[in-house]
Structure 1
């Protein structure tokens, strides 16, 4: 995992959310982020991933019921 991505997960407190996702999703996120051609796109993709992990119930802008977080 790239250092900036690991740091973003750590800083946002979403590492456990990331780790609990299926391997294909973790791999998709890393591949999608590392394929970015500009730093701006990479940053935007990292932000999207962090937001989705924090919110739960979504993966790549699609519904992902298994990761849904119950409202408390």
Structure 2
């Protein structure tokens, strides 16, 4: 684990290549980077902790859809990320 300036006190998960590729392909990297560090980290940890590949893919799609829609984080309202 490397030091970072995010202020997170828990372990910081590195972004897997398949997540980076999906964000780039959907044009959502900027939306991802605009989220707070804890949300970025939670999404990555949540996706990676799935045991089955199908579950990882389902979680990845949920993250991508939430980033695209804005205003949602882990199926909860997130007004700070709402799109105009």
> Normalising by the residue count of structure 1, what TM-score does the alignment of the two structures yield?
0.96
Structure number with greater Rg is 2
Q: CA deviation at 1:49?
A: 0.1
Aligned length: 70
Runs of 4+ in 1 over 6 A off after TM superposition: none
Give the structure 2 partner of residue 61 of structure 1.
Answer: 75
d(CA) in 1 for partners of 2:55, 2:37: 23
Give the structure 1 partner of residue 17 of structure 2.
Answer: 3
* Richer in helix (by share): 1
Cα RMSD (Å): 0.3
> Normalising by the residue count of structure 2, what TM-score does the alignment of the two structures yield?
0.83
Unaligned runs of 5+ in 1: none
State which of 23, 27, 30 in structure 1 corresponds to 2:44: 30
